[in-house]
Structure 1
């Protein structure tokens, strides 16, 4: 099974621009994904769908997705607005006022969590959300499960984007997921970069943005002294492909840009490819 993920779209960053930069980047990424063979079974959009919480930007997002040839499912990030999202995307499921729901797709399931905390740049995960997650995990302790949310719970090292272990929401989420042997991976956004970590024994990956990316800068930051460091860079729009091979979830990251092809599968390379397959057990 192949699952595509895009994140941190930030539509509406230029609210009055008909040719908005972030919309162009989104359209390029969607066109790239729609042309894949095989086509992903679904598309996950993991938060910061729009930039200012406005309803018009959600409408433009729906317009952009209208012709995408696979089902799409969303999570919310810190730039999103629950009420405006719900008006434009009424088909999504809610649990106690939060955008949390289960996706079943044989032979696995995905649990989509809502880490939006109004007024915070960082994440949130209250007792109500934790109770829903615990109930879903208790219902099924066997099916391979992927957690989908916007905010990663680990400390990424980029000072202004860090989540720290002492944050209450991180501890609450960690308590829900402790010793859950069937939870394989957590996929997130928010960092605007590809990153991977092991958190409480769970693999967590983040996907780069379709909007511009966060600069990779680990130097300590002084909130009182602007030092002119780069914060956002115009790297290409990006996405992830999560491949379930029947045992593990394997994540690949790529960008939606044109490339120069240096080798193709032609007669000159046919024997090499055939030999690689012959090496495998059962060939």
Structure 2
């Protein structure tokens, strides 16, 4: 459907994903300088989900049933906890631009998982997947990821977790509307905080202004606004359209990282970005 025919709320949701999520890679990179990564991600989602839930309770929104809460818990583990938590951990070792480039492969994983739910892949989609794998290989030849195999592995696992949650969300029972966003963020936040305690994360020092500002931005814009926008798009447009943020986020993240953090963008990174974005375009292409 052409953008001119989309509802204003849907257009606003696309804008939030394209711009806000593209900037969150930079903000996460700043935040992990002050916060343990799993703890920061857990607080972010717990706070965002609790604020949304408190508003919905005040509005007397109907409470979800047990099956819906179970679906929200599963999606919370797959998307905020695995999909975002592992990105936050990886950004202690890799640049924000490189992280965004790997996460741009989410539509490739989404296509794979969609086959479990009855989607039949077209030849063009398989070509896009092959091109995406080539893009990841090129990215690993560059300086950003080759120095951190662990960071690269965490980012690929994050992409797979987010993609599985995105594909499964079409089938799982879950709370409707903002109630679903709230519970998914709360469940993901609880899983992240539990993981933080399990691995023994500790605050080395009380975060400064930059650390608190990063947490506030990620809570309000990256979670309450952009995450709710993504769940809205998953319910109102196709999965391919909902994951189209993957075209734009890497470019924004690479530019912001280069401008504000002085991150190096080499030939391998630029070539990988073009290959990965082309692969995503092929996968999402419709006549």
TM over 0.5: no
The structure with the largest helix share of the pair is 2
Radius of gyration: which is bigger?
Answer: 1
Indicate the structure whose relative CO is greater, using CA pairs within 8 Å and at least 6 residues apart. Answer: 2
The structure with the largest strand share of the pair is 1
- Return the TM-score normalized by structure 2: 0.29
